[in-house]
Structure 1
Amino acid sequence: MTLSLAPPRPLSRLRHPSVLAAGAALVTVGLGAALVVAAGTDPATAWAALEEGMFGSPYSVGTSLNSAAVLALIATGFSVAHRAGLVNVGGEGQLCAGGLAAAATGLALPPQVPTALGVPLTLVAGFLAGTLWAWLAAVLRTRRGTSEVITTLLLNFVGVGAVSVAVHEEGLLRQPVTSSETLPQSEALPAGAHLPLIAGAESPATVIVAVAAVAVVVTAVVLRFTGTGLRLTAVGHSPSASARLGLPVARLQEGGLGVAGGLAGLAGACLVATAPYVLAEHFSSGYGFTGLVVGLLARGSLIAVAAVSLLLGFLTSGGINLQLAAGVPASSVQIVQSVLVLLIAATMLWSNRRTGAAT
């Protein structure tokens, strides 16, 4: 390794993460404008619709915050597992398991259950179900050496299928069929299992925002300032060396992946306990996979988890309004979001490689 005493070149400043992120955003905006023009929509009209969908009303802001909170919970769990050297790609299945358990628990409660009892029971059921779902993959990893990437990925399909079966079978969770128009979904949860609103009736923002914020802060503190965080980091860097030092490697890995699944399950429970308060097929809306993207982009930083979750949460709400108000196809919005993620990931990788080469 050689050290250079020469002053930093001006071009080196262009590799700063904030500069690269700004460049990626500008390129994405340009692509979005091109797609808007190709769709036959005036760019000014499209921008107004996007802004309206993100910040135009308490409803849009509340919807964006709820979406960001779900992503933050999943990405926070991913960061915990990643710190232990594991890659959790099963957020979607764990979210579905949590939503299924939360719905079953909520529907089993008496109609007059108080919120102080109904909400915690529903959320805890979701957390435990997600933990168990991820623990299955963790045990296969620690006791049989099976890749957690494969097992968590395959368990996604099992979780999605389990939700589909539950909402289509009357003997399980499907609401009573009264006509051909009855939707395949569960009955609504009792009022005592509904997540309370935090910003008044005009905004749909619920306590999931506060739950996600607490989860991010607590996780950041634990990983950075406690012995548990240090042990997880050691295991993530070298399981064999950690084992020689006497650390319980298997237990730490199982715990890390279990927490990841629990937070994803908690996100699923929050989705079910938010309006319209039912478990429906495809209720997850792909949050599990998007949360995985957030976790990958954050690269273990909980501050980045919060920032990227907010960005994608607001873009999702803005994109919906862009489609409805400006007539821009939904596929165009998905292309813009995907390109933004790819550019940010590419610039981060390029910056790290250039930094490594300079040292």
Structure 2
Amino acid sequence: MSPPTPAVNAPAPAPRTAVARIAPALRHPVAVGVLAVVLAGAVGLGLVVGAGTAPAVAWDALVEGMFGSPYAVGSSLNSAAVLALIATGFTVAHRAGLVNVGGEGQLCAGGLAAAAVGTALPSGVPAALGVPSVLVAGAVAGGAWAGTAGLLRARRGTSEVITTLLLNFVGVGLVSVAVHEEALLRQPVTSSETLPQSAPLPEGTRLPLIGGIESPATAIVVIAAVAALVTGLVLRHTAIGLRLRSVGHSPAASARLGLPVTHLETGGLAVAGAAAGLAGASLVTIAPYVLAEHFSSGYGFSGLVVGLLARGSLTAVAAVSLLFGLLTNGGINLQLAAGVPASSVQIVQSLLVLFVAAAMFGTTRNGRAS
């Protein structure tokens, strides 16, 4: 009998280097976001210096525009609420595996419907009837607008990215026609200085203020917060949320399991459109209470960006919407008080998106490689 073979000690694992220990932490979404903010802020600082403004002056103007007064805070909250509504709808569609890039057109459809209903109501309409009527009209119009693209996707296999994108131009065009034609929504021309816009909405259709006379924050802030909370609960803790997730992962497998894939896809996109339409309705029910050309101010596209950055988290939707709302309002004051073009803030926001997307792509590739 041969003697037992002595055990061979396995080589001790090489000690992890400092870079190896730090790398996983850098791939965390929070770290990615912080790094993206720092890089975008550095570029913004370069733009400020290039405009000939002292960084301290620009910073004071930016902070003043975001937090310097109740009016600034209220305006930022209204902007954040509009973005949050659009991003919340985007998240619902994304959970079903769809990409809704038509927020701008759906917002325009909602604003157009809200203005049409609001101006048709009598001047003495009570707020308990007028406000819900206008908001529901906007949500229904936005839902129908997006539902059209959903039906084309479900019945004909047409890409919702293409249809929702093209419907943006149709929605913007319809608003332009409506406010330029007196036979539609344009108020009667009384002078050469009259802007092409609708008549003011009656008092009873205007969203109530929630921050007092000094703040323009309206009930849309509460509505957006409730919408995000309810949507998060539905997506996480109900059968509808589970079905939407199943369709998003694999429509074919979901169909074999007996799920109504067509209805879920169409419904998910319609909900996204309804949220954007509600956002559009809110824009015409806050000061100056009219539908005007370019009233959307690009909120539909900005809401898409918020939805992409949030990556399906409704908590992130609220945080990113608030950040973008503050930056938007701060950028206006940056131009007025410091002479820095407001487009600089848009550049910073765009770079923020690019940096986050690049970081996400890089970490995904590294994860697969390992």
| TM-score of Structure 1 vs Structure 2, range by shorter chain | over 0.9
CA distance in 1, matches of 2:129, 2:238: 31
CA distance in 2, matches of 1:152, 1:16: 32
The answer for the alignment partner of 1:118 in structure 2 is: 130
Quick check: 1:256 aligned with 2:281? no
**Matched residue count:** 355
SS of corresponding position for 1:275: coil
CA distance in 2, matches of 1:208, 1:6: 55
Structure 2: state its 5+ residue gaps. 1-12
Q: Deviations over 1:294-322 (max 9, x none)?
A: 11111111111111111111000001100
The residue type equivalent to 1:26 in the other structure is V
Aligned counterpart for 1:31 among listed residues 24, 43, 57: 43
CA distance in 2, matches of 1:136, 1:34: 45
The residue type equivalent to 1:315 in the other structure is L
SS of corresponding position for 2:116: helix
The answer for the alignment partner of 2:56 in structure 1 is: 44
The answer for the alignment partner of 2:163 in structure 1 is: 151
How far does residue 116 in structure 1 lie from its aligned partner after superposition? 0.9
User: In the TM superposition, what are the counterparts of 1:301-320 in structure 2 within 5 Å?
Assistant: 301-320=313-332
CA distance in 2, matches of 1:339, 1:285: 19
SS of corresponding position for 2:207: coil
SS of corresponding position for 2:183: coil
Quick check: 1:290 aligned with 2:327? no
Q: Deviations over 1:55-81 (max 9, x none)?
A: 000100110010010001001101101
The answer for the alignment partner of 1:269 in structure 2 is: 281
The answer for the alignment partner of 1:177 in structure 2 is: 189
Aligned counterpart for 1:164 among listed residues 161, 176, 201: 176
The answer for the alignment partner of 1:210 in structure 2 is: 222
The residue type equivalent to 1:337 in the other structure is Q
Distance 1:6 1:267, change over 3 A: farther
The residue type equivalent to 1:331 in the other structure is S
The residue type equivalent to 1:96 in the other structure is C
The residue type equivalent to 1:189 in the other structure is L
Aligned counterpart for 1:196 among listed residues 202, 208, 212: 208
Query: CA contact under 8 A between 1:16 and 1:351: conserved in structure 2?
Result: no
Aligned counterpart for 2:117 among listed residues 105, 116, 125: 105
State, as a whole percentage, how many aligned pairs show the same letter. 73
CA distance in 2, matches of 1:229, 1:61: 34
Structure 1: state its 5+ residue gaps. none
Kindly name which structure, 1 or 2, has the bigger radius of gyration based on alpha carbons. 2
SS of corresponding position for 2:30: helix
The answer for the alignment partner of 1:129 in structure 2 is: 141
Q: Deviations over 1:260-297 (max 9, x none)?
A: 00000000000010100000000000000111111111
CA distance in 1, matches of 2:89, 2:14: 41
CA distance in 1, matches of 2:343, 2:59: 17
State the Cα RMSD in Å: 1.4
SS of corresponding position for 1:9: helix
CA distance in 2, matches of 1:37, 1:112: 53
